[in-house]
Amino acid sequence: MDNQFVNLELHANDFRQQNGLNLTEAIRIKSLLQKLNILTICLPLGNDFSGMAVKFVSAENPKRFLLINCNHTIGRQHFTICHELYHLYYHGDFKSEKSNAGTFNKSGDPEEYRADIFASFLLLPTNGVLRLIPEYERSKNKITLKTILSLEHYYSCSRNALLNRLFNMKLIDRDAILEHKKDIIKYATLYGYNTNLYQPGNKGMVIGDYGSLARELFDKGIVSESSYFTLLEDLGIDLSQLDHLNNNE
């Protein structure tokens, strides 16, 4: 493993420990984002746009924002979030970045490649992955589909992210990657797994203080009443229900 990989794994492990996570457990993504107070919104975006991170630098109260593509599968969304966490916490002089996470493109933007590697280590920690692989499957290309399904559902990750992780751990080769990308939903179903991980989802989901920020902007006169109501509608709030509540007071 080269120094770049070592440093990124150290960053990922440090990030886990700083946020009360050990080096084997799965991350509860939504809870982590809530704890970090990262305003996160999931909306339908183009297929080549997995997400976007924005960091507002302020000595008193730095703000961090994530936009995640809900057209992608839940597993891919989790990887994208971990990818964006690299930009928010370890990408020097970072302000904003549009990403297509999970490409692992060495010849492209080096920060995008580092963000992918960081996300792999953060979402799929080495010790945790090895603990879930039976000892007799820890040599190259011995890992079974049963174990792969167990790993990706425990860590709530995409098949692509898991296979890249196993490849970098030298547990599978590129032929095995191609083989295990076939009929993913079919075999997950046959093994009795819920297939939500492989489906799009979270449309319109908001994590963080979006509503509170909208109200604060309105109260301070920064946005108009109509703009404030538009922000509430973006949250999926039915404004007619507010009228109904007012009429019942």
pLDDT digits (tens, 9 = 90+) for 204-242: 888 877 666 666 656 777 657 666 566 566 656 565 655
The answer to whether the Cα torsion of 17, 21, 26, 27 is positive or negative is negative
pLDDT band at residue 2 under the 50/70/90 scheme: low
Containing 17, the helix (H) or strand (E) segment is: helix 3-18
Q: Which of 77, 98, 62 is nearest to 29 (CA)?
A: 77
Which tokens hold the place of 28? 């509860």
pLDDT digits (tens, 9 = 90+) for 136-165: 999 999 999 999 999 999 999 999 999 999
Mean pLDDT over the full length of the chain: 87
pLDDT digits (tens, 9 = 90+) for 59-88: 566 788 888 999 999 999 999 999 999 999
| Rounded distance between C-alpha atoms, residue 249 and residue 243, angstroms | 10
| Rounded distance between C-alpha atoms, residue 85 and residue 38, angstroms | 10
Longest alpha-carbon distance in the chain: 69
Neighbours of 203 (CB within 10 A): 11
| Rounded distance between C-alpha atoms, residue 34 and residue 91, angstroms | 21
Domain ranges of the chain: 3-30+75-89+97-198, 214-244
Mean pLDDT, rounded, for 27-34: 95
